[in-house]
Amino acid sequence: MAKATADRLFINAHLATMAPGDEPFGAIDADALAVTGDKISWIGLAGNGAPEAGDIIDLEGRWITPGLIDCHTHLVYAGNRAREFDMSLNGATYEEIAAKGGGILSTVKATREASESDLAAESQVRLEAMMAAGVTTVEIKSGYGLDLENEVKMLEAAKHLGEINPVRVVKTFLGAHALPPEFAGDSDGYMAKVIHEMLPTIHALGLVDAVDAFCEKIAFSEEQVRQLFKAADKLNIPIKLHAEQLSNQHGAELAAHFRALSADHLEYLDERGVKEMAKAGTVAVILPGAFYYLRETQKPPIQLFRDHGVPMALATDCNPGSSPTTNPQLMMNMAAVLFRMTPEETLAGFTRNAAAALGLSRTLGTLETGKQADLAIWDIEHPSELTQAIGSNPLYSRYYGGLQ
């Protein structure tokens, strides 16, 4: 019987599979991993039935984890909001900055003025920084166009970034992000436009993998978001939601009613909302960057998520106004220090649970045979180092679909 063959065999490695189980970090008694095509084809001990491979890579004791997944970003945008940072430091709240024409609307203006190629070029720099930190999958939201033409432009730019880079891009339509200036005072009218014009057109163009909204007093009401979700549900589009960031609008319960992939932010979430998320299998996406940057004091209910078995994902929330970062390791450290998440929880937040937050658990998020060979290889002695060090980047190499 011919011995099995593989394209690539990694040896002398430690494996943090991040598969759920009793072992911390999913660490197993294996020191080798084989890749065939774009899939993991074998995991085990190199001296015990390892396949033959044309390319053998000695990792000299380094650690392999699944490639990192950033499941909540606003990566595509134009301009910056550094001046608003000064306002914030002088005491202006998020709501006050928005009321003065800043916040999301200042980015809307810059994004509308930018061409698709300019948007892609400016966003490419941010994406490269993420990939250099071990990210192999990134979700990118629209929401800075707020009309059909510019929302399409943003999603086309996101699609283009996925086509020219070794990274998986998940495109989320966030037309219900804020009220555009031309609809000032008419949120019902704008939501009708989102539901009846923008969503079906963008869906027909194949540019939407999920639908998101901002359910908050400064954005859209629970009932308005409900109507959007009904429309998305009819089109069989998965749902996500910005919920309970600044107040408790019961958005997470609404998201759970529609079996949303995730509800995100969640600082003001109550136990009833946590229970509804648990019943629905909705992932809690924790965003410590925005919490830190906005100097919030209300922490997400981490212990309630643990108590009720709600998976916790982490993300950078990369955006120009409230989390201007591309650094997953920094978010892991913040989640540990600010919210007391464990190092294992933070790494699961950027791997297994982040995959679940994007509906990609079957193919991504853990090191298991048959899954995509998206790998991050780290020059570390223990996986806790990825969380313990403040914003470090010990990435040794990165493989996307089996290729470096």
Q: Answer yes or no: is 72 a known binding residue.
A: yes
Q: What share of the chain is helix, strand, coil (3-state, %, to 5)?
A: 40, 20, 40
Beta-bridge mates of residue 16: 27
389 CB-near residues (< 8 Å, 6+ apart)? 329, 333
Q: Answer yes or no: is 31 a known binding residue.
A: no
Q: Answer yes or no: is 293 a known binding residue.
A: no
Q: What are phi and psi of 159, to 5 degrees?
A: -60, -45
Rg of the chain over all Cα atoms, to the nearest angstrom: 21
Q: Answer yes or no: is 41 a known binding residue.
A: no
128 CB-near residues (< 8 Å, 6+ apart)? 165
Residue owning tokens 């950033």: 70
Rounded CA-CA distance 360/365 in Å is 8
Amino acid letter, residue 4: A
DSSP notation for 127-138:
HHHHHHTTEEEE
Q: Answer yes or no: is 115 a known binding residue.
A: no
Q: Answer yes or no: is 319 a known binding residue.
A: yes
Q: Answer yes or no: is 242 a known binding residue.
A: yes
- Lay out the sheet containing 312-314: strands in order across: 68-70, 135-141, 168-176, 210-215, 240-243, 262-265, 283-286, 312-314
Rounded CA-CA distance 15/156 in Å is 37
Structure tokens at 144: 């800075």
- What secondary structure letter does DSSP report for 51? P
Beta-bridge mates of residue 240: 262
Q: Answer yes or no: is 322 a known binding residue.
A: yes
Amino acid letter, residue 382: H
Rounded CA-CA distance 109/79 in Å is 9
The count of C-alpha atoms lying within 13 angstroms of the C-alpha of 85, restricted to the half-sphere facing its C-beta, is: 12
Rounded CA-CA distance 386/166 in Å is 23
Rounded CA-CA distance 178/193 in Å is 13
Q: Answer yes or no: is 8 a known binding residue.
A: no
Helix (H) or strand (E) holding 291: helix 288-293
Q: Compute the residue count for the chain.
A: 404
85 CB-near residues (< 8 Å, 6+ apart)? none
CB 302 within 8 A of CB 341: yes
Per the annotation, binding residues for N-formimidoyl-L-glutamate are: 144, 319, 321
Per the annotation, binding residues are: 72, 74, 81, 144, 177, 242, 245, 317, 319, 321-322
Per the annotation, binding residues for 4-imidazolone-5-propanoate are: 81, 144, 177, 245, 322
Per the annotation, binding residues for Fe(3+) are: 72, 74, 242, 317
Per the annotation, binding residues for Zn(2+) are: 72, 74, 242, 317
